Structure 1
């Protein structure tokens, strides 16, 4: 695939208008907001910390590993990554959100392109042989569309960041101008996290963000919630 087509495909799947279900998630931000632990000036720092210590070591590492497996035609390895990622997520809310988004992504991806491994993975998800976590589903869809591993990881990290900033907008923790400033300032972190994810083995999968886990656990039992996570 040419660089231009890789770029266009990455942009399509990372676009906030793509119906992956990311718009329903705050990625623990609503929990932080409810606990009054983040304000307007803290959105960028929190996003960067989550990318570095949670999303990068966990979801991005799984995506990179699953993408290489999918590109090599190894669906069993893809399933292994999927199951390990699911097991590594401590909160039921985060597991459920990831799976719901992953199922939407793999269903639409299979409609958009006819590719054997993608179809096989979708069938395993349907049969509940594998959970279908969003990063792994994204890896399979990107690989089926000829997007290389680095582009796939970076695009998914940007999609996460855009979703997080979009949640900050809806929670009135930022405005549209500051949201764009946060995304631009986060580009360097995304590059750093991408490089780190590409260099990890599957045995290194797993983030460490205890406060985010606590906020997610509290959010599960909140009386009122705007977001699914």
Structure 2
């Protein structure tokens, strides 16, 4: 018997694909800064950097925000409150700016393709009533696409890891094949950290001090490839 295709899987593949225009290519989450400031902050090993980002930033902050946003089921008023919580919990301006810009880019694309909730939330951002942090926008949009919560979380984790792998290649820290090997090692980490339940009022937590210091110092540096 031939198994039938799951259309939800195809939707997830489309929206998690790096070719989907989300704007995230301009940000490295502090990887560029960490590699450039190795003499001051210590050696930057990409595999270790990726592991730390997933375990100590994405798992407790972005994953939680995405999950909570998903569960709000398109309630724009409560999404704006969560947006402000993400803003307040993100200490470094470069990371706040990157998250907002990524969210805005993703919303713009979804507004143009007609995803439910994208245009109204984008309008709230234009009015200064919402901020559009990426994880909040992901939760809003991926639920609107009919994806399951676990699928949305998996997409968020994969994109977080894959975008860093792409940045590492562009920065010349690793080769394309090596980056894929490291990305493969990161997938079980995403599964592991995602096994921790998220309460509807779960606080946002992250602890990546070296990367945050690097981003803060990076803000006053000269020419660079990424915005953070």
State whether TM-score is above 0.5. yes
Could you say what the CA RMSD is over the residues aligned between the two structures, in angstroms? 1.7
Equivalent-residue separation in structure 2 for 1:16 and 1:212 (angstroms): 24
Equivalent-residue separation in structure 2 for 1:200 and 1:216 (angstroms): 30
Equivalent-residue separation in structure 2 for 1:137 and 1:226 (angstroms): 25
Q: CA deviation at 1:90?
A: 0.9
> Match of 1:103?
104
CA gap of 1:170–1:163, structure 2 versus 1, over 3 A, is same
> Match of 2:81?
80
Q: CA deviation at 1:7?
A: 1.8
- TM-score by length of structure 1 reads 0.90
After the TM superposition, which residues 116-195 of structure 1 pair with which residues of structure 2 at under 5 Å, given as runs? Answer: 117-195=117-195
Q: CA deviation at 1:203?
A: 4.0
Equivalent-residue separation in structure 1 for 2:121 and 2:220 (angstroms): 33
Equivalent-residue separation in structure 1 for 2:61 and 2:223 (angstroms): 28
> Match of 1:30?
32
> Match of 1:52?
55
Equivalent-residue separation in structure 2 for 1:4 and 1:126 (angstroms): 36
CA gap of 1:128–1:169, structure 2 versus 1, over 3 A, is same
Equivalent residues of 1:56, 1:193 under 8 A apart? yes
Equivalent-residue separation in structure 2 for 1:132 and 1:38 (angstroms): 34
> Match of 1:89?
90
Q: 169-178 or 104-113, which moves further after superposition? A: 104-113
Q: CA deviation at 1:171?
A: 1.1
- TM-score by length of structure 2 reads 0.91
Unmatched 5+ residue regions in structure 2? none
- Matched positions, count: 222
Q: Which runs of 4+ in 1 moved over 3 A?
A: 200-203
CA gap of 1:93–1:102, structure 2 versus 1, over 3 A, is same
The SS at the match of 1:186 is helix
Unmatched 5+ residue regions in structure 1? none
Equivalent-residue separation in structure 1 for 2:139 and 2:202 (angstroms): 18
Q: CA deviation at 1:3?
A: 7.7
Q: Over residues 68-116 of structure 1, what are the superposed CA-to-partner deviations in whole Å (9 max), with x where a residue is unaligned?
A: 102xx4222211111100111111111111111111111211222352x
Q: Over residues 122-165 of structure 1, what are the superposed CA-to-partner deviations in whole Å (9 max), with x where a residue is unaligned?
A: 22122120100111111111011001111111101111111101
Q: CA deviation at 1:38?
A: 3.9
Q: 2-11 or 28-37, which moves further after superposition? A: 2-11
Q: CA deviation at 1:168?
A: 0.6
Equivalent residues of 1:106, 1:122 under 8 A apart? yes
Equivalent-residue separation in structure 1 for 2:153 and 2:128 (angstroms): 25
Q: CA deviation at 1:24?
A: 0.7
Equivalent residues of 1:6, 1:151 under 8 A apart? no
> Match of 1:4?
6
Equivalent-residue separation in structure 2 for 1:192 and 1:80 (angstroms): 29
Q: Would you tell me which structure has more helix in proportion to its own residues?
A: 1
